[in-house]
Amino acid sequence: MHRGRLSTIGAGAGAWLAAIAIAFPLLWALLTSFKTELEAAAYPPSFVNFSWTLDNYRAALGGGEYFAALWNSLLIAGGSSALALLVAVPAAWAMAFAPTRRTRGLLLWMLSTKMLPPVGVLIPIYLFYRDWNLLDTVSGVAILLAAGNLPIAVWMLFSNFKEVPAEILEAARMDGALLLQELGLVLAPMALPGLASTFFLIFTLAWNESFWTLNLTSTDAAPLTAFIAAFSSPQGLFWAQLSAVSMLSVAPVLAIGWLCQRQLVRGLTFGAVK
């Protein structure tokens, strides 16, 4: 019994250490964001006894660039996620409830497109976008990210829908539900945790995406990723300000994640437990 308690404490301590190690960069950036530029670059670094300041946040929020970037990020992440779900829900529905011999292969093939290095198609897509006037537009980036996240969305929804008994959808069909009613009134409410976690995952992926956003936007459609990148300016690095901007970019996703934590955990482990 004594040994059992010791090992519990040991495991707890180990878990905390691992958690701090993983979260350290984020925590360090959080601390740095409250320092002056001088203190941020100081060596050895100080942990708490520095003069706390909000100047970096004031500077980052001033000028309105942050809010323009935030708005673009919301539009791009939200729009691409909505667009991806719009296509992924019917696709996953068909694959889960009316599978053919090729369904498995199709799913694997879809996922294999994620293994393509994006830089391999940068030039053709860039040229396309230039000719179709999609460069530096929110819709252009949103469409691209929606397409990029589609395989993940279909996979997640497919495994979620698989957990819904087909008989319930058949019962709805017998009851006279049209296809859209079957999807909207029966399937969607039952698969809500899965839908929510899928939306959140692809939303986060789109929010964090920086390869395409950096390459295809410049000013009008630049999201937060581009805003942060812009801080590595020719005048040198401003660590404290950069940290403040990073915190401001992470905050919205963190807040959303916190709010739908319960749904998310249920969705991501759906079917794994039970």
Partner 1 sequence: MSSIILEGVTKRFGTHLASDHVDLVIPDGKFTVFVGPSGCGKTTLLRLIAGLEDIDDGLLLIDGIDMARTQPADRGLAMVFQSYALYPHMSVRSNLGFALMVARRPKAEIAERVDRVAAMLDLSRLLDRKPAALSGGQRQRVAIGRALVRQPKAFLFDEPLSNLDAALRAQMRFEIRRLQQDLGITAVYVTHDQAEAMTMADQIVVFRDGRVEQVGAPLEIYRNPVNDFVAGFIGSPRMNFLSGRYAAAYGVPTIGIRPEHLDIAPLGKWQALVLTVENLGSEAFVHAELEDGKAITVRCAAAASIRAGSRISFTPSDTCVHRFDADGRAIAGTDANFMLESANAP
Q: What is the b/e burial string over 191-218, where b = at least 16 CB atoms within 10 angstroms of the residue's CB?
A: bebbbbbbbbbbbbbbbebeebbbbbbe
- Tokens 């190690």 sit on residue: 21
Q: Using the minimum distance from each CB to partner 1, give the nearer residue, 21 or 174.
A: 174
Q: Which is nearer to partner 1, 58 or 262 (CB)?
A: 262
162 binds partner 1 (CB under 8 A): no
Nearer to partner 1, 106 or 190 (CB): 190
For residues 187 and 184, give the distance between their C-alpha atoms in angstroms, rounded to a whole number: 6
Give the residue, chosen from 12, 165, 257, 271, that forms a contact with partner 1 under the rule CB under 8 A. Answer: 165
Let me know: does 228 contact 249? Beta carbons within 8 Å. yes
Site residues (CB under 8 A) for partner 1, limited to 8-47? none
- Using CA atoms, how far residue 21 sits from 24, 31, 51, 250, 253, in Å, is 5, 15, 25, 18, 21
274 contacts partner 1 (rule: CB under 8 A): no
Cβ 203 to partner 1 shortest distance, Å: 24
Q: Which of 30, 82, 177, 253 binds partner 1 (CB under 8 A)?
A: 177
Find out whether 229 and 210 touch, Cβ atoms under 8 Å.
Answer: yes
Under the binding rule (CB under 8 A), the answer on residue 89 touching partner 1 is no
Rg of the chain (C-alpha set): 23
Q: Which stretch binds partner 1 (CB under 8 A): 120-128, 176-184, 219-227, 230-238?
A: 176-184
- Kindly list the residues in this chain that would bind partner 1 in the complex (CB under 8 A): 165, 167-168, 170-178, 181, 185-186, 189-190
